[in-house]
Structure 1
Amino acid sequence: MTIESAAIIGGGLSGLAAGLHLAREGVQVDVFEARDDVGGCCSTANVGGYTFNEGAMFLAVPQLLDSVYARLGLDRAALLPLKRIEVPQASVLDSGTRVVLGPDRSLRIEGADEAARTLAANAELARFLDRWRPVLRVFADDLLTRPMSLTHVLASAWRYLPQLRGTLAQELTRAFDDVDVRAAMSAAALYTGIAPERTPIFQIVGIVSMFEDGVHLPERGMGAIADGLAQALRDAGGRIHLGTTVERIELQGGRARALRIAGQEERAFDAVVSTVGGMNTFERLLDPGQVPTAMRRRARKAPLSHRALGVQLGLRNRLAPEAFCINHVPAMEQQHRMHRPLPADSAWLSYTVPSTVLPQLAPEGGSVVELYAGVDPDLPMDAWDEDTTRRAADEAIARLARHETLDIAQARIVTPREHARRLHLYEGALYGLSPAATPQQQFPHRTPIDGLYLAGQTTYPGFGVATSLWSGVFAGDEALGRG
């Protein structure tokens, strides 16, 4: 069926990519975004002159970003100039040893016997990168730029399949003799919210890319990604409706035909692309009696990612750490404890200082610091009242104050409840599905409901900035009958 009109639910990166892809093919596109701005989890908020991230904090695997921009007919370098983060990570261990990752495919150890340890660790790092560089290239140049297909995976990556068995912890133990280096390398994957012993080994490509290709920030901040895509969509004839909440996807004859929108009359479309996650789509946007059994089961059993408390501080004073991300962490085997509430006297935490790369994110002489603190996963959403929030935030700020001088001008605290209500993250889970979710647990771009398509972080390969964009392209292809 040829489609002439399409509705996109959600104005995040995947929704903007799907909309732009369809609009460039002559489809009349309407994007419905409940918030007052686009970008979703890749947007920014300005509070008292300080610019804070709503979610995504940096860009990895830049060639994957370039390839999806090219697919969308955009010049990434002109539309989104990037600034490389020269020193991505520095980790301080309980022993006092400091391990700095980068720049130039290297690491540095500061502490006992530092010269000999640094020399040995860099020799191991070179062998580690030689082993994993081809795998990164297969993922970035091929597997992540196509819809998931077992046949294609076997054809493109068969020689690496034995290498892709096991966990992150097992591979780091195999590759590095120095336990402090293992801890620093595994700390680079703390953002996943998964213990290294449970983190699937394929997540290692992110660490490899950090050394090989670097990590970057848009010169105008993370919000520039969505702003540029939104303007390109409008230029292509697409319409973006902000502050507009979709209440229901209406089916007629088993096909998605219309949207029920708060405060408006029902709107008819030839196709609907939902980017608010498979769980939200099948549990909240459809009549329960019309949801296919397989999708109901998948939504109910979906392995969710972790929750966290976002703590964002605007400081009057300038912080100038050597690295973009600073980790105060235990040994690799203990790092899983950082994903839950820590004792009040704990010094463990991980935080970023984006103003070291982009000083314009803060007023002159000031700084922006952002961290995500572990929370009790069993704590109900409604338990995040003012007292609970203040206590958890104060504890996180106290841990940070043990390491940095804090002259706080602005404090922005984002609870799991706010992640769910304001950013529409299912049950407050930061990524929706766990980064450890298997392809069988992810949601398909083409659903069993005719005319309904999915994009975003609960689909393949929607975990991250560039991959979320690719998921929108894949959903658009399915809607056009090209999947």
Structure 2
Amino acid sequence: MSRVVVIGAGLGGLAAAVRLAAAGRDVTVVEAGRVPGGCCGTASLGEYRFDTGPSVLTMPDVLAGVFAAAGEDMETWLPLRRLDPYYRLRFDDGSHLDMVAGEDAMIEQVRALCGAAEADRYRRFRARLGELFEAEWSSFIDRDMTRLRSLVQPRVLARLAAMGGFRSLDRLVGSHLTDHRLVKAHTFQALYVGLAPRQALGIYAVIAHMDTVGGVFFPRHGGMHAIPQALAAVAEKAGAQFRYGTRAVKVETGASGVSGVRLDTGEHLPARHVVVACDLPGAHAGLLPEAAGDWRLRRPRHSPSCLVMHFGLDRRLTGQAHHTLHFGRDWDAAFAALTAGRPQPDPHLLVTYPDSDTGAAPAGHATLTVLEPAPNLHRGDWDGLTARLEDRLFGRLADLGYGDLSGAPRLTFDPPAWQRLGHSAGTPFALDHRFTQTAWFRPAGAARRVPGLHFAGMFTAPGVGVPPVLVSGRLAAERVLEESR
């Protein structure tokens, strides 16, 4: 079999590499970094270790499927635990809601906060979330939507429309729930797809199903970066070769399509197929041949970015959840500011406290990560902004009970830093998921005019998030195997 080169050892590239190597293909993964992971990265500061990528892992069966494709059991390579609670949501009025496992237990949480009538409404809404997920997963999310024929499913589209899937997310949720806190608990996920709840389609309520019903998980050892490490090890066991610290500089073509990849060492890797699993706008700026151009990227609309601060704590926190969402006072103003390219006036914050990752800090110490959604470089002026937001964040965290963290060891990632790491527009969240950048309208999974050239990762369908990116890797591998039969 001819070689397949995978460019990028992020989750999408690794998912493709595992499947292709397990199918007997000669796979070489080229990764500019020194370790696998891509966006699911890691960084150290003294004795502290931080996950620098996604902190929320849902739908572990999707991840388990990658291991199973190579005949491996995920539990052997990457044991996970279910978080309890999945999230703790803290509202500006001082109340809070824990998202917990089990329908009855979650209904009791809602009843205690919002009353019996809202708990009954929540029970019905939870069932509707399950129906939406069932309709969407196999028909749209878990299949190759970069092919137009996959989009034309009148019966499924009619069912989604009847359930409110093509209304705005806030209107869909608001038609079932009345307590503003419960509405926020099921619409903040719009930020995952780069939109305000009033902009996102109701179909994205399935994200709330994934994390509030399906649950949120975390590796038992090594933090989130343990995921790409385990996938890379399985790919190597299946026969894939990895070239770390090596950058692909050009996908080269011949009369019949892809002919290989030129590396920054000057070496040419012959290949019949290439899977590009990195930042696509950046790849189109020189890595890819001109014939690979995609009209969907002519006017890309990027998601907002974020300011992330990682702290090393000289203490452990009592009673702190793994994930805590602190909502600001003005819900609508926060989203309006992001849409206009301004910082949120009173920001919503995601605080991650990976207490179970004992290897991330010395004994008696801990790590804390704070994420504030912020404008990307295309939408905001970041000259001097980072320092102002850091100062404001110190004050907000002190008010929330985390103490004075201004003197704690810390690493900061802002949009300029994300851009230096190779993320277009300074955002690690790729393109947003407005209708014109969803499914078939998202950048294609294969270059129509360059046979053998395929794409994986969050820029193509299904899109952003750990499960969708893993699915994109599987779809890319399936296209390669189909072409090479």
- Normalising by structure 1, report the TM-score: 0.88
Question: Which residue of 2 is the match for residue 235 of structure 1?
Answer: 237
Matching residue of 1:170: 171
CA contact (8 A) 2:168 2:199 kept: yes
Structure 1 residues 23-422: aligned runs within 5 Å: 23-105=21-103, 106=106, 115=112, 117-140=114-137, 143-148=140-145, 149-150=149-150, 153-154=153-154, 158-163=158-163, 164-220=165-221, 221-253=223-255, 255-288=257-290, 290-292=291-293, 295=294, 297-319=295-317, 320-322=319-321, 324-330=323-329, 332-337=331-336, 339=338, 340-343=342-345, 346=346, 348-377=347-376, 388-403=385-400, 404-407=402-405, 409-422=408-421
CA contact (8 A) 2:9 2:37 kept: yes
Equivalent position SS for 1:259 = strand
CA distance in 2, matches of 1:154, 1:66: 32
CA change 1:30–1:330 in 2 (3 A) is same
Instruction: Kindly indicate whether the alpha-carbon contact (under 8 Å) linking 1:196 and 1:335 is maintained by their aligned counterparts in 2.
Output: no
Distance 2:327 2:365 in 1: 23
Find the aligned partners of 1:234 and 1:242 in 2 and give their Cα distance. 13
1:232-278: CA deviation from partner (whole Å, max 9, x where unpaired)? 11112211111111111122226221222112322221111111143
Secondary structure in structure 2 of the residue aligned to 1:443: coil
Paired with 2:107 and 2:189, the residues of 1 have a C-alpha distance of 13
Give distance in 1, aligned partners of 2:137 and 2:219: 20
State the Cα deviation string for residues 204-247 of structure 1 (Å, max 9, x = none): 11212223221111112111111111111111221111111111
- Contact persistence 1:11–1:40 (CA under 8 A): yes
Is the Cα contact below 8 Å between 1:100 and 1:107 reproduced in 2? Answer: no
Find the aligned partners of 1:56 and 1:276 in 2 and give their Cα distance.
Answer: 16
CA distance in 2, matches of 1:355, 1:255: 46
Distance in 2 between the 1:217 and 1:93 partners? 25
Kept in 1, the 8 Å contact 2:343–2:374? The answer is yes
What is the root-mean-square deviation of aligned Cα atoms in Å?
2.7
Flag structure 1 segments of 5+ consecutive residues without an equivalent.
none
Q: CA deviation at 1:9?
A: 0.7
2:441 counterpart residue number: 441
Partners of 1:439 and 1:132 lie apart in 2 by 20
Secondary structure at the aligned position of 1:356 is classed as coil
In the alignment, the residues of structure 2 paired with residue 275 and residue 430 of structure 1 have an alpha-carbon distance, to the nearest angstrom, of: 14
Is 1:10 aligned to 2:25, yes or no? Answer: no
Bigger drift between 227-236 and 252-261 goes to 252-261
How far has the Cα of 1:119 moved from its partner? 2.5
Residue 477 of structure 1, CA deviation: 1.5
Shift of 1:365: 2.4
Tell me the secondary structure at the aligned position of residue 284 of structure 1. coil
Native 8 Å contact 2:431 2:459 kept in 1: yes
SS of the residue 1:480 aligns to: helix
Q: 1:154 to 1:71 in 2, by over 3 A?
A: farther
1:390-445 deviation line (CA, Å, top 9, x unaligned): 333232232222211245542111121221222x2222222211133222331222
- Which structure 2 residue ranges, 5 or more long, are not aligned? none
Letter in 2 for 1:20: V
Q: Which runs of 4+ in 1 moved over 4 A?
A: 107-110, 151-158, 378-381
1:445-464 matches, cutoff 5 A: 445-448=445-448, 449-464=450-465
Inter-partner Cα distance in structure 1 for 2:267 and 2:321 = 55
Take 1:388 and 1:178, find their aligned partners in 2: how far apart are those partners? 35
Q: d(CA) in 2 for partners of 1:254 and 1:235?
A: 32
**Cα pair 1:104 1:211 within 8 Å, conserved:** no
Q: Deviations over 1:309-368 (max 9, x none)?
A: 22111211222324622323335434415744144xx4x431223323434433222232
Contact 1:313/1:411 (8 A) holds in 2: yes
> Could you tell me how far apart the structure 2 residues matched to 1:337 and 1:371 are?
21
Aligned equivalents of 1:196 and 1:394: distance in 2? 28
Q: 1:435 to 1:53 in 2, by over 3 A?
A: farther
Change (3 A) 1:211 1:405: same
Q: Aligned partners of 2:136, 2:361: CA distance in 1, in Å?
A: 36
Residues 141 and 462 in structure 2, CA contact (< 8 A), matched pair in contact too: yes
Aligned partners of 2:36, 2:176: CA distance in 1, in Å? 42
Q: 1:393 to 1:374 in 2, by over 3 A?
A: same
Cα distance 1:116–1:481, how it changes in 2: closer, same or farther (>3 A)?
A: closer
Are the equivalent residues in 2 in contact too, given 1:97–1:109 (CA < 8 A)?
A: no
Q: 1:103 to 1:479 in 2, by over 3 A?
A: closer
Name the CA distance, whole Å, in 2 between partners of 1:452 and 1:45.
32
